[in-house]
Amino acid sequence: IVRQDPDIILVGEIRDDETASIAVHASLTGHLVLSTLHTNSAVETTPRLIDMGIKPSLIPASVNAIIAQRLVRRLCSHCKEKYAPARETIESVKKILAVISPKAKLAIPKEIDFFYRAKGCPKCNGLGYKGRIGIFEIFTINEEIAQKVTGMSPESEILALALEAGMVTMLQDGILKSLEGITSIEEVQRVTGEGKFLEELYEKIITQLLLRSITINKDTEEKIAEAKKKFAVFQKVISDSPPEKILDLIMAMALSLSAGDIHIEPEENTVKIRYRIDGILQDVVHIPMNEYPHLLGNVKILSGFKATDVEGGVKDSRFGIKLEEGVLHEIKDREIDIRVSIILGGYGETVVMRLLNQGAQSLKLEELGIRKQNLDALLEQVKKPNGIILNTGPTGSGKTTTLYSLLSILNKPGVKIITVEDPIEYRLKGILQTQTDDKKDYTFPKALRALLRQNPDILMIGEIRDDETARIAVQASLTGHLVLSTLHTNNAAGSVQRLVNMGVSPTDIASSVNAFMAQRLIRILCPECKKKTKVNSEVKNHIEKVLKTISERSGIEIPKKVEYVFEAAGCPICNNIGYKERTTVSEILEMTKEMEKLINESPTASQVESLAIEQGMLTMAQDGILKVLEGVTTMEEVERVTEE
């Protein structure tokens, strides 16, 4: 046929190497060739041709365009119906459409309120669909893509460039058609897959555009090496450093000390910088007021604000820290997320930076310091297929970490776990994690109602904040779901009255709750410098009084003598603080038959606690005193966190 010198050649299908070679050479010698090839997508055609013996350098010269297509069923125009999908479905679709380049010259909907789905009627024989329509992607090879093709780059890199050049994938075309009511999103996913690559590409693009960051290098690490042992040394390092290096040093020092957050507070003549270490704010360094504008400007620019803007109210943003290879090797995550809050105070703008995702926090339940008796009770309760486990305590008491640790244990094949959080604090593989957004009216109640339709086995709610969330959580537990959540109360016993105040009936509390937990984080004495000291009579009497309240049913071996305790001293290892790291003091109130009966009688919190102690509950104060006698912490720490 080629010898007849046609202008256009149609080859039904390129099935073998020889056909591919003839078709390519025909296109290179003045013929327009149309043909078909079996591949999953347009971009996959280039490696397929290479596999058929075509030299990579010939593909850009011979190929004008590659069209990929699928047929999807049309929704029946007589019975199709609108519906509001789950929030995570909308977010996923938005991400996939967000990758469409402006070069595609398509109108992309900014908001997605509903989709269409099949229903079924006599006109479509009850199928919900009638006829079919194509969804397409058209791949053309520009100069940049040609270099990738001839260099035999991975398909993912070629696809990313094609999208940037304006290609719309079959999945994207299908989604746009589904938004127009032509087909359904389920039908599009059936023929194209779920679009994970496009979502991942979206995250990569957004990261490149939005994640402002600073990099901590070896030079910065070396400067703070000695300063870690003594804040006075760090003060000298800061004083001797140029203004443009101060923020790097402050961030590096905070990371090396495992600080939770950084407070930069202008005063009358100086600026105080404090780190929250093991839950307590420590004064670290001061800088002169005349150097503050430069430091504040750097923080603002990284946070996406103008350096010269000074406004009332609170400004919230974020940026990132990147660690060069080998720098601060003890930190697992090499990219740290920093949440920034700036507020105008009496002497100028105050900055608080919270350091997230440092990878230092263990999610192994047995490593959180929970006493064995409490740990056993907790594990017994999470084995149950339904019910609520509520962890209570103030902000920063480790509640969420404990719940994540429980989820890590429960996360098994065949178990569907969904979380609703604000914000997502840890990423867990195999678990669907969602985040509320009050600005978009995606609240805890709305999220819960949407997610319960997905019928999870286990549901984790970041916090029960309002009456509606409380009622939905209780109803979920009563209808076969295991619910884990947190609540702000002073102790486990106080949770009963808190739920009653939120409109949950005593009967529902008794029926739905498996256990209430309360916890606090308490500082651990530095093992290198803690001092053994003889206990005075006043402290001894207090300890013995608390020990006498421990029930025999708790399974705790109570110390017979109280002679010595330990005190904080201070050394270079702990930066002269006397404490290093934290552990947990906790209490577990289990829902027994007797407790159910009492709760139905509308008891006071003290009555609930008395029965729980009688049945073997160890209170946080009791747990704390035992840790004092074990040399883990001090009386001062127990009094600070338990108020006893």
Render pLDDT for 16-52 as a digit per residue (tens, 0 to 9): 999 999 999 999 988 999 999 999 889 999 999 999 9
Closest CA to 396 of 279, 282, 491, 283: 279
Report d(CA 156, CA 144) in Å as an integer.
14
**What distance in Å separates the CA atoms of residue 292 and residue 348, rounded to the nearest whole number?**
10
Q: Are residue 49 and residue 178 in the same domain, yes or no?
A: yes
Closest CA to 331 of 275, 406, 408, 253: 253
Q: What was the pLDDT predicted at 566?
A: 95
User: Is 25 part of any domain?
Assistant: no
Give the DSSP per-residue string, 523-543: EEEPTTT-EEEEPPHHHHHHH
Clarify whether residues 120 and 242 are in a common domain.
no
Look at residue 206 in the predicted model and tell me its pLDDT: 44
Does position 205 have pLDDT exceeding 60, yes or no?
no
State the Cα angle at 404 between 399 and 407, rounded to 5°.
Answer: 130
The verdict on residue 593 lying in a domain is: yes
Residue 575 has pLDDT above 90, yes or no: no
Is 218 in the same domain as 174? no
pLDDT at 518: 98
Q: Mean pLDDT across the stretch 85-99?
A: 80
Residue 340 and residue 368 in one domain: no
Q: Which of 125-129, 223-227, 533-537 has the lowest mean pLDDT?
A: 223-227
Q: Do 431 and 407 meet the contact criterion of CB atoms below 8 Å apart?
A: yes
Q: Residue for token digits 């702000």?
A: 488
In this prediction, residue 313 has a pLDDT band, given cuts at 50, 70 and 90, of low
Give the model confidence (pLDDT) of 184-204 as tens digits: 999 998 888 756 656 665 555
pLDDT for 212: 58
- Report the amino acid identity of residue 521: L
Q: What's the whole-number mean pLDDT along residues 233-255?
A: 91
Say if residue 319 is in the same domain as residue 433.
no
Res 329: pLDDT: 82
* DSSP annotation of 559: -
* Average confidence (pLDDT) over 529-547: 94
Q: Are residues 545 and 575 in the same domain?
A: yes
Whether residue 314 is predicted with pLDDT greater than 80 in this model: the reply is no
Retrieve residue 588's tokens.
């577990």
Supply the CATH number for residue 49's domain.
3.40.50.300
Helical spans, DSSP H, in 584-644: 593-599, 605-614, 620-629, 635-642
Q: Residue 307 domain-assigned?
A: yes
pLDDT at 200: 63
Residue 349: HSE in the Cβ half-sphere, 13 Å Cα cutoff: 24
> Does the structure show a pLDDT above 50 at 555?
yes
Same-domain check for residues 201 and 317? no
d(CA 481, CA 484): 10
pLDDT (average), residues 373-392: 96
pLDDT cut 70: percent of the chain above it? 94
In a domain, 20, yes or no: no
Give mean pLDDT, residues 176-190. Answer: 92
φ, ψ at 627 (rounded to 5°): -70, -30
Give the least confident one: 389-393, 451-455, 632-636: 451-455
Distance spanning both ends of the chain, measured CA to CA = 96
pLDDT confidence band for 207 (50 / 70 / 90) = very low
Q: Which of 38, 12, 9, 39 is nearest to 24 (CA)?
A: 9
pLDDT at 310: 63
- Asked whether the beta carbons of 260 and 277 are under 8 A apart, the reply is yes
Cα–Cα distance list, 602 to 465, 499, 500, 595 (Å): 22, 12, 9, 11
pLDDT at 119 over 70: yes
pLDDT beyond 90 at 604: yes
SS3 call for 249: helix
Report, in this order, helix, strand and coil percent for the chain, each rounded to 5: 40, 25, 35
| Residue 480 structure tokens | 């076969």
**Which of 208, 232, 249 is where one domain is finished?**
208
Domain that holds residue 134: 37-208
pLDDT of 573: 86
Work out the average pLDDT over 523-543.
94
What is the token pair recorded at 306? Answer: 């103008």
Q: 200: Cβ–Cβ under 8 A, 6 or more apart, which residues?
A: none
Residue 138's pLDDT is: 95
For residue 143, the surrounding DSSP H or E stretch is: helix 143-150
Q: Where are the beta strands (DSSP E) in 171-296?
A: 213-216, 261-266, 270-277, 280-288
Predicted confidence at residue 209, as pLDDT, reads 40
Most confident of 65-79, 180-194, 413-427, 561-575: 65-79
630 and 498 belong to one structural domain: yes
**For residue 236, pLDDT beyond 90:** yes
In the structure encoding, which two tokens stand for residue 114, read together?
């509903």
Domain tally, the chain: 3
Compute, in degrees rounded to 10, the torsion defined by CA atoms 362, 365, 371, 375: 170
3-state DSSP assignment of residue 395: coil
Model confidence at 211, pLDDT cuts 50, 70, 90, reads: very low
Residue 179: how many CA atoms within 13 Å on its side-chain side? Answer: 18
- Per-residue pLDDT at 300: 86
- Number of C-alpha atoms within 13 angstroms, CB side, residue 444? 20
* More confident: 593 or 3: 593
* 114, 325, 399, 522, 637 from 583: Cα distances, Å: 48, 30, 12, 5, 11
Q: Are residues 150 and 284 in the same domain?
A: no
| Domain limit, last residue, from 141, 176, 208 | 208
Out of 334, 357, 380, a domain closes at 357
Confidence band of 307 (pLDDT split at 50, 70, 90): low
Question: Is the predicted pLDDT of residue 164 greater than 90, yes or no?
Answer: no
**Cα distance between residue 480 and residue 406, in whole Å:** 18
Residue 608 has pLDDT above 90, yes or no: yes
Residues near 183 by beta carbon (within 8 Å), at least 6 away in sequence = 72, 73, 74, 75, 133, 135, 174, 177
Our CA angle for 496, 500, 502, nearest 5°, is 120
pLDDT at 615: 97
Q: What percent of the chain has pLDDT over 90?
A: 61
Distance CA 321, CA 334 (A): 8
Q: What is the torsional sign of CA 398, 401, 402, 403?
A: positive
Domain-embedded: residue 10:
no
pLDDT averaged over the chain? 89
> Is the model's pLDDT at 356 over the cut of 80?
no
Q: What are phi and psi of 460, to 5 degrees?
A: -110, 120
**Per-residue pLDDT for 92 more than 50?**
yes
Q: CA 374 to CA 385: how far, in whole Å?
A: 20
Q: Is residue 438 part of a domain?
A: yes
312 and 408 together in one domain: no
Q: What is the CATH number of the domain that holds 262?
A: 3.30.450.90
**Same domain for 132 and 221?**
no
Q: How confident is the model at residue 379, as a pLDDT?
A: 96
The pLDDT tens digits of the residues spanning 259-296 come to 989 999 999 889 999 999 998 999 999 998 878 888 88
Q: 377 with 371: CB under 8 angstroms? A: no
Q: Which pLDDT value is given to residue 357?
A: 62
pLDDT of 111 higher than 90: no
Question: Where residue 441 falls among pLDDT bands split at 50, 70, 90?
Answer: confident
Is 1 within the bounds of a domain?
Answer: no
- For β-strands 270-277 and 261-266, DSSP reports them as antiparallel
Maximum average pLDDT range among 277-291, 318-332, 507-521 = 507-521
- 28 within a domain of the structure (yes/no): no
Supply the pLDDT for residue 181.
Answer: 94
Helix axis angle for 170-179 and 87-98, nearest 10°, is: 130
Q: Are residues 111 and 225 part of one domain? A: no
DSSP state for residue 434 in the 8-state scheme? E
The listed range with the strongest mean pLDDT (293-302, 437-446, 581-590) is 581-590
User: CA 364 to CA 379: how far, in whole Å?
Assistant: 13
